[in-house]
Amino acid sequence: MTTGASVTGLGATTPLGGDVASTWAAMLEGRSGISLIEDDWAHDLPVRIAGRMRVDPAEVLGRVKARRLDRCQQAALVAAQQAWADAGAPEVEPERLAVVIGTGVGGMLTTLAQDDLMEADGPKKVSPYTVPMLMPNGPAATVSIEFGAKGGAHTPVSACASGAEAIAMGLDLIRLGRADVVIAGGAEACVHPLTLAGFAQARALSRRNDAPQEASRPFDAGRDGFVLGEGAAVVVLEREGFAAARVGQGGARVHATLAGAGTTSDAHHITAADSAGQVRAMRLALASAELSPLEVGHVNAHATSTPSGDLTETLSITKALGTHPAVTATKSMTGHMCGAAGAMGAIATILALRDGVVPATVNVDDLDPEVKLDVVIGGPRQGGWTAAMTNSFGFGGHNASLAFIR
């Protein structure tokens, strides 16, 4: 029998809340974290809406610590601290503790801000912390230093699949015997005029500037693109025997088990998704978890609210699992958190299994007739699912599916 990994800790900072509890409560209430960008720099942009973190991570960490970290790193550290505390701060040998934090672009805000500073005031004004703040492995390095993790600090950079790939890698590290505990997840903070303009030019973003909270509408017939979000989500994974011993001693609880994962690459197109790769990722996750399609009762879909992407995933889910799972798209509330999206989807899936309730997909006023799935709309749905899956797909043809059991 294939072994899984016990999920003992959850942490997040999102457009819906500064922690897991507030984010989950907002999801169940169907609230949106999307708002109009009031900054002066956004006035001339075609898209002026985004999902910014509800709680500024710098306020949590303190000014002295935060000033040496990019906003992406700040978010990762806040989420990791929460997850570690939720796991009961496991006592583990440093060499048996690993970190895997994925990101799509890393310290982009630092890169652009320091470049502006150099052009305006010269090279002597550039911060000596620039390189540590901009490097994509910065979030993983920051978290590994915080917790003294010497079992490896890894950084999957696979666009919007980064957070899910990080969790999949965490499972691999445990299965390979390289770690007893892994802090895994994703972080992103790139709400900036350059990213908004770039995505807008690619016609990937919703332009509902007059109705921010209604802009992200996965599976709705009137969807017109995704909404850029930011934040971080982190889980603590433990070898099952290691977690069981701590549970027996009253030092931990298991939220769910990460039973399997599947990652694939399309080798198809830099931005257009390929259903075959998505299907294969889901089937690999099923095989890794030793689950049949009929056992999967719930899917947290990647579903970003793009016209073509949602339909491609609809086809993929139907082929890999069928039409019976209860499907939701929590990006309708958080927006697309890019490198953190897969990890946030994983946490929402874990909580749906643990609590027996799936949040509704909001803003579905007119379900696309081509979406032949059981999309949860109108309010949360109660259920006793024993297995669930979450999907993450990224530019470049990166696909990652995670399978959890209760």
For residue 164, the model assigns a pLDDT of 98
What does the buried/exposed string (b/e) look like for 143-157 if buried means 16 or more CB atoms within 10 Å of the residue's CB? bbebbebebbbbbbb
What is the distance between the alpha carbons of residues 372 and 386, in angstroms, rounded to a whole number?
23
Identify the pLDDT of residue 250: 87
CA-CA distance, 248 to 198, in Å (whole number)?
52
At residue 108, the pLDDT reads 97
Of the residues 154, 298, 336, 398, only one is catalytic, namely: 336
Q: What is the bridge-based pairing of β-strands 256-265 and 398-405?
A: antiparallel
d(CA 77, CA 64): 14
Active site residue 154: no
What's the pLDDT at 1? 63
72 is catalytic: no
Looking at 160, 190, 192, 398, which residue is catalytic?
160
Give the chain's residues under pLDDT 70.
1
Q: Residues 148, 181: contact at Cβ < 8 Å? A: no
Contact 5/184 with Cβ under 8 angstroms?
no
Pick the catalytic residue from 154, 192, 302, 398. Answer: 302
* pLDDT reported for residue 2: 75
Per-residue DSSP letter, 161:
G
C-alpha atoms less than 13 angstroms from C-alpha of 167 in its C-beta half-sphere:
43
Q: What is the pTM of this model?
A: 0.98
End-to-end Cα separation, the chain, in angstroms:
17
**336 belongs to the catalytic site:** yes
* CB count in 10 Å sphere of residue 191: 23
Q: What local confidence, expressed as pLDDT, does residue 26 receive?
A: 98
Q: Give yes or no for a contact between 29 and 213, defined as CB atoms under 8 angstroms apart.
A: no
- C-alpha separations of 349 from 22, 75, 221, 295 in Å: 16, 21, 25, 15
What is the per-residue pLDDT for 328?
Answer: 98
DSSP for residue 370: T
